[in-house]
Amino acid sequence: MPDQYAVIGNPIGHTKSPLIHGMFAESCGQDIHYAAIEGQLGKFAQQVDSFRSSGGRGLNITAPFKLDAFAYATHRSEAATLAGAVNCLKFEGSDILAENFDGVGLSRDITHNLGVSMQGRRVLVLGAGGAARGALLPILRQQPSRLLIVNRDVAKAEALVQAVGHLGQVEAAGYDVLSGLHFDVVINATSASLTGGLPPVPASVFAQADLAYELAYGKGLTPFLQLASQAGVRRLADGVGMLAEQAAEAFLWWRGIRPDTRAVIDKLTVPLT
């Protein structure tokens, strides 16, 4: 009988996780069954208990259950603790192990797949929500010369700096400080692109940039990427590579083998035009 894995979220109909992990399993010769679970608000623990009792080995977690998964876990990694949220669980007897692979997925996509170094570079992160929080630790490990987090609510960005400041040089500010500043890598970790919006970032920040990275995926040329393109940024990317890489990290954690992500990225990529 195949080992059982799944993703849980609400809504869940849009998820690509069964496709991704199915491709990983086939390419790695792993006998698994991967399902999508429509989570019920307020019943996360009961549903996961049921999944575990039926033989479930691991879960990917998507919105809105990442905080529920954090509370449900018995052991949390440094990345999960720092993010305050969990996107992956592994079950070993009575132990519930928790991870957050979003940040490492982003970092690997930028440095490995896109070939853009962040070491000694100027990195700008737009937004201070959960997506930004999960990304900070892997970015700091790349040792950028400057890491600036900007957010409409400056206090929220400052709280992130307090949480990770001991790990490296990181600053917090509002969008008003960006005039006249230039960066090598600009990452949009806001939710603006999900509704066709644009964070209040001046085009000038892209003038010397090697990469503009949109965490949202499958949206094509978002307003953020369009602004970056018009400003002359050298390369555009959305979050499809991050999606594939964080899934590969979960697969490695569960199965002990890391799948190649190229086929998944090629299959899911939407042209940025």
Q: Active-site residue numbers?
A: 66
Among 63, 59, 100, which Cα is nearest to 79's? 100
Amino acid found at 252: L
What does the block give as tokens for 23? 């491709």
Which DSSP symbol is given to 204?
G
What is the DSSP annotation of 19-77? HHHHHHHHHHT--EEEEEEE--TT-HHHHHHHHHHTTEEEEEE-TT-HHHHHHH-SEE-
What is the DSSP annotation of 92-153? ETTEEEEE--HHHHHHHIIIIIS----TTSEEEEE--SHHHHHHHHHHHHT--SEEEEE-SS
The secondary element (H helix, E strand) that includes residue 238 is strand 236-238
Q: Are 185 and 123 in contact (CB under 8 A)?
A: yes
Provide the pairing of β-strand 185-188 with 236-238. unpaired
